[in-house]
Structure 1
Amino acid sequence: MYILYIFRFFIQKEEGMSCCSFLDLTEADLNLMELNMDRTEFVVQEDGSLISECNDDPNASQRIRVRSDIQERRNTQSMTGTNKVPLHMFSRFGTVRATLLHRVAEGQALVLAANGSFTENNRRALMRILISELIKVHGSCYPPDEAKVALAQAIVTEFPLLRNTRTKKGYEHYYDEETRRGFIEYRLWNVRRTLSPSQKKYKTKALDSGKTTPVSPNINLLSQEELDSKIAWMKCTNPSDSNKQNIATHLQETLQNRRDWIIKKSPNISQILHEYPRLLDYNGEMINNEFRYFFKEKSVNFLARFPSYYCPRILEYAKLNRLDVYNRLKNITDVNLRALFILADLLRINNAMLAQQGDKGKGKMKGKKRQRSSEEAEMIEKEKIDVPSTFLVRFAGTPLPQSIQEASATGSIIIPPYIVCTQEENGRNSYFVQGDGWLIKPRNNNPVTAFDLLFKVYFALKICYPAGLQIFYNFIESYVYDLGTKARGVVTSLHVNLSNLKLDKIASEEFIFGS
């Protein structure tokens, strides 16, 4: 361990001693030199040189102490040099809190935020400081997994509000040792981008083109003759109350054949609804049945959770941390609809992600949904189209952007389903799910039931989510419906912040279902 002393000491300039030379001295060296610590003092100038002054020096008040960055450099050199750094060590200061407080103003602000309302900007600053320290400790942009796990554990241990209570260990969003993913690894990836090829430890490898997964061969499909007979019956049957049960039965019996056809042939929305027009009937009940067949009780999760739990938290979070977004959307009177817009804005996809969804992003959906055309992502990025107000909810009298209409007319893109809000004569709003020229009006007409139906239409027809709403729908899938979908890091981070938000006082009448 290196010992620093502030003392006075007369020294000849020709001896060539500098402050760095002094910092290399150990306690044994100082004793060997027989220095009287009561009478001597070293003073380090701003340029790093060592000077000596007498006790009666009139300029004594202008001297400076050894700068902390010099000591930090010495500590780093001692750890990464002859002394082996423990694999689990992530900071020279021992804890996350001490590491942050070493940054004074910025660190203090982060400590306060981590114990209160933590934003995505806070999270990015946290990673920037901690990863910088992690790299210094190990002298490499490739620190050991043990250090990354220890850092992730320390973050959620010292700041419990940053823990993800929905996972086994609670820190996987910062670093998951099984997948080697998380905010710690993502920050290291960004740092490594500046390295030269010779400095990089691993070479990038092209991802597989994720082909769609067909229906399991163990599932019994109807013969073509049986399928054609049932489709013909549904096309010719009037969707009356008396025929409702038979229609529901026929749709369920043809479900596996329908999904196998959608996956293998990738028909568009109109082609699917031409073959199975009864999906549009009964105010979306047939669509809901299709979703319930796969997810059973989870079918009601959005209706049960979003208005009562997520809506007030999203609004409060925006009011505290994203006032610009909150004020821009405050004219939307329905709080649930406003919360959906805010959530889509908070999870707005960035330009880098949009670029990856062009030609290079084709076929990387791993079979979950049919891939989008690259033209859609390119158009959104090029023309700065506002995705939430274009592909989530549109109000009557606001046509789609001209470029989208033209691209749809030529067939280069398919307009995905979205909610249409219209105003009736009595002044009340009505909501429909619209897609490719067809409309479905939910039975209990309000924004919550309309979005619930919209989400299930995407699933039933296996439509890829619009470019720009990928992260938004990942949040809806992973946490609101709880479908077992792997949540993205930014989604988990926002959910942790929302879950730990303290709502001291909320007017209950403001959050009445469908208000």
Structure 2
Amino acid sequence: MIAEQQNHTSQQSHGSNAAAAGSDGSGRSHRLRQEVGGNNEKKKKNVMADEEFTETGITKDLHMAVQWLRVNQHLFKGSVEEPWYLTLTDEDQKKALLQLSQAETNDEIQLAKEPFMFHFEYPFSRKGCEHFYDAEGNTGYIAWRLKTVQRNNGCSRTTSDDKCERRGPRTERVSSPTEKQLEGDRCQEAISFLKHCSDPEQVTAKMKSTFQYRQKMIQDPEKSSPVLSLFPRFLDTKGLVLQDFELLFGVETASKLLEKWDCTLKQKVIQEAKNLTQSPLLSCLIQSAENCSTCQEDWDRDMSSLLLLVYLLPPPSSGNKKFVKISVREALDCVVRFHKSCCSFEEVLGSTQTTQPYILAVGTSKSSIHDYYIAVDKWLIPCMAKSSLSAFDELFKVHYVFGISYDAALHNMFIFLQATIYNIDVGITRESPRVGDLRAKFLN
């Protein structure tokens, strides 16, 4: 019956506005505004077609997007990943949502949506509300939900993602290192010298002068030699990963995680994790992050708080045929694994099938770690510092230094770190609505 009413409403609207609608869709946009704002069009509001909304492009304006959400909030019920503003439990925000649904004038709408603007705005993007809806890239919560509705209804629609690029560790970047870069025979001589050199100062200098050669090698799919085979000093000289990342992005970007985590982000992550459905492992991580745990089998405060990001941005549940679904508990092992100091490295590396980077924490217990390594395809790269936060920092940077794509299970977490903490490719990286919403919460 609703479908018949939709067809009847659509036919009436097209008949009355055919003369006004031009090739640019302005007539339809005007009609849609009348449907949303008119006091006597409530029946038309409830059956507004998804296709009409996407074709008009009126959602470029946040004000109209909020109006559309008010009219069509019934579409969002029952979703597995419902946006935060449709699963509110706070009584004040529930009241605000009710007020928003009953608002008629522009002033009333503006007043009613104020409690939600805290989460809508993102200060580093162009408009501040792309995670809600971005007309250029056809991304955000509204586009995401419309695609879900169309898929469930058996409808297919081709969308363009040209404006929203797949940027990340595999993206070729232009860098201008201050150190003179070697080329040709002189570069090959330096590479041969590095294979037998053990002096840290000379290794550091030669690695700087061959930086651009490594970057070209990483971006060239025809290069068969692994970087770690050609540059073995990564495996016994600490700090080379940090040096290459700094040459790639600069000192300011390289230091962002260590500067931001303790002072601004850690407590926000802990508080957000408390709002999740609690499990024994999640509760244990929260206690450790708050320094309330005395168990030696728990990670330290920094590592526990960082692992909470995996709960806040869990592995994708479905939709990617190439991705094998795993649990959050399994995803935690993709970030860090404990290795007892009395055991051999060959044992743990031999039993690991993944080629993705992860942290290998070596010590007598999880709370007493004396060395950190980054495991990459059965190679071990020693971390510069002995703190879990610094090890996590190097884990992120390894992806860019060696051009390794993010682990599919941790993709959302790393995209969040990339855009929110390191500010790399902000506004031009494709991300899920969950990532955009969490970033907007933390930065407001």
TM-score by length of 1: 0.58
Residue type of the partner of 2:29?
Answer: L
1:80-95 to structure 2, matched below 5 A, reads 80=13, 83-84=16-17, 87=29, 89=32, 92=35, 94=37
With a CA cutoff of 8 Å and minimum separation of 6, indicate the structure with the bigger relative contact order. 2
Q: Please point out which of 495, 499, 509 is paired with 2:439.
A: 495
Measured in 2, the distance between the counterparts of 1:184 and 1:235 equals 54
Asked whether the 8 Å contact 2:28–2:56 carries over to 1, the reply is no
Asked whether the 8 Å contact 1:432–1:441 carries over to 2, the reply is yes
Asked whether the 8 Å contact 2:236–2:382 carries over to 1, the reply is no
Q: Secondary structure at the match of 2:253?
A: helix
Mean alpha-carbon deviation: is it higher for 172-181 or for 154-163? Answer: 154-163
Mean alpha-carbon deviation: is it higher for 254-263 or for 432-441? Answer: 432-441
- Answering whether residue 311 of structure 2 is matched by residue 345 of structure 1, we say yes
Residue type of the partner of 2:337?
Answer: R
Asked whether the 8 Å contact 1:214–1:263 carries over to 2, the reply is yes
Q: Please point out which of 208, 214, 218 is paired with 1:262.
A: 218
The C-alpha deviation readout for 1:472-514, integer Å capped at 9, x for no partner, is: 11011111111124251321111122334xxxxxxxxxxxxxx
Measured in 2, the distance between the counterparts of 1:306 and 1:424 equals 26
Asked whether the 8 Å contact 1:317–1:498 carries over to 2, the reply is no
CA RMSD of aligned residues (A): 4.4
Q: Please point out which of 303, 312, 319 is paired with 2:274.
A: 319
The C-alpha deviation readout for 1:5-60, integer Å capped at 9, x for no partner, is: xxxxxxxxxxxxxxxxxxxxxxxxxxxxxxxxxxxxxxxxxxxxxxxxxxxxxxxx
Measured in 1, the distance between the counterparts of 2:161 and 2:135 equals 22
Measured in 2, the distance between the counterparts of 1:311 and 1:193 equals 38
Asked whether the 8 Å contact 1:90–1:137 carries over to 2, the reply is no
Q: Please point out which of 481, 490, 497 is paired with 2:422.
A: 481
Q: How many residues align?
A: 357
Once the 2 structures are TM-superposed, how far is the Cα of residue 407 of structure 1 from its aligned partner?
8.0
Measured in 2, the distance between the counterparts of 1:248 and 1:434 equals 21
1:334-483 to structure 2, matched below 5 A, reads 334-355=300-321, 358=322, 377=323, 380-381=324-325, 386-396=329-339, 408=353, 414-424=354-364, 428-430=368-370, 431-483=372-424
- Answering whether residue 125 of structure 2 is matched by residue 160 of structure 1, we say no
Cα separation, partners in 2 of 1:281 and 1:90, compared to 1, 3 Å: farther
Measured in 1, the distance between the counterparts of 2:360 and 2:230 equals 24
The C-alpha deviation readout for 1:139-161, integer Å capped at 9, x for no partner, is: 74554334323456553962311
State the match for 1:229 in structure 2: 189
Cα separation, partners in 2 of 1:166 and 1:213, compared to 1, 3 Å: closer
Cα separation, partners in 2 of 1:350 and 1:232, compared to 1, 3 Å: same
State the match for 1:303 in structure 2: 258
Measured in 2, the distance between the counterparts of 1:73 and 1:163 equals 33
Bigger CA radius of gyration:
1
Measured in 1, the distance between the counterparts of 2:185 and 2:277 equals 58
Measured in 1, the distance between the counterparts of 2:10 and 2:171 equals 53
Residue type of the partner of 2:285?
Answer: L
Once the 2 structures are TM-superposed, how far is the Cα of residue 304 of structure 1 from its aligned partner?
0.6
Where structure 2 has 5 or more consecutive residues not aligned to the other structure, the ranges are 18-26, 68-109, 289-297
1:117-196 to structure 2, matched below 5 A, reads 136-138=47-49, 140=51, 143-150=54-61, 154-155=65-66, 158=113, 159-161=116-118, 162-195=120-153
Mean alpha-carbon deviation: is it higher for 228-237 or for 132-141? Answer: 132-141
Residue type of the partner of 1:349?
Answer: P
Residue type of the partner of 2:387?
Answer: N
Cα separation, partners in 2 of 1:193 and 1:464, compared to 1, 3 Å: same
Measured in 1, the distance between the counterparts of 2:247 and 2:51 equals 51
1:53-68 to structure 2, matched below 5 A, reads none
Q: Please point out which of 243, 248, 258 is paired with 1:289.
A: 243
Measured in 1, the distance between the counterparts of 2:337 and 2:195 equals 31
Residue type of the partner of 1:308?
Answer: C
Where structure 1 has 5 or more consecutive residues not aligned to the other structure, the ranges are 1-68, 103-131, 359-376, 409-413, 501-515
Cα separation, partners in 2 of 1:273 and 1:389, compared to 1, 3 Å: same
Q: Secondary structure at the match of 1:429?
A: strand
Once the 2 structures are TM-superposed, how far is the Cα of residue 463 of structure 1 from its aligned partner?
1.3
Cα separation, partners in 2 of 1:322 and 1:92, compared to 1, 3 Å: farther
Asked whether the 8 Å contact 2:60–2:135 carries over to 1, the reply is yes
Q: Secondary structure at the match of 1:420?
A: strand
Measured in 1, the distance between the counterparts of 2:33 and 2:344 equals 54
Measured in 1, the distance between the counterparts of 2:423 and 2:161 equals 31
State the match for 1:51 in structure 2: none
Asked whether the 8 Å contact 2:373–2:391 carries over to 1, the reply is yes
Measured in 2, the distance between the counterparts of 1:425 and 1:494 equals 32
Residue type of the partner of 1:171?
Answer: C
Residue type of the partner of 2:405?
Answer: C
Measured in 1, the distance between the counterparts of 2:181 and 2:46 equals 56
TM-score by length of 2: 0.66
State the match for 1:55 in structure 2: none
State the match for 1:43 in structure 2: none
Measured in 2, the distance between the counterparts of 1:406 and 1:205 equals 42
Measured in 2, the distance between the counterparts of 1:464 and 1:347 equals 17
Measured in 2, the distance between the counterparts of 1:342 and 1:440 equals 25
State the match for 2:100 in structure 1: none
Measured in 2, the distance between the counterparts of 1:419 and 1:215 equals 26
Asked whether the 8 Å contact 1:231–1:275 carries over to 2, the reply is yes
Measured in 1, the distance between the counterparts of 2:144 and 2:187 equals 49
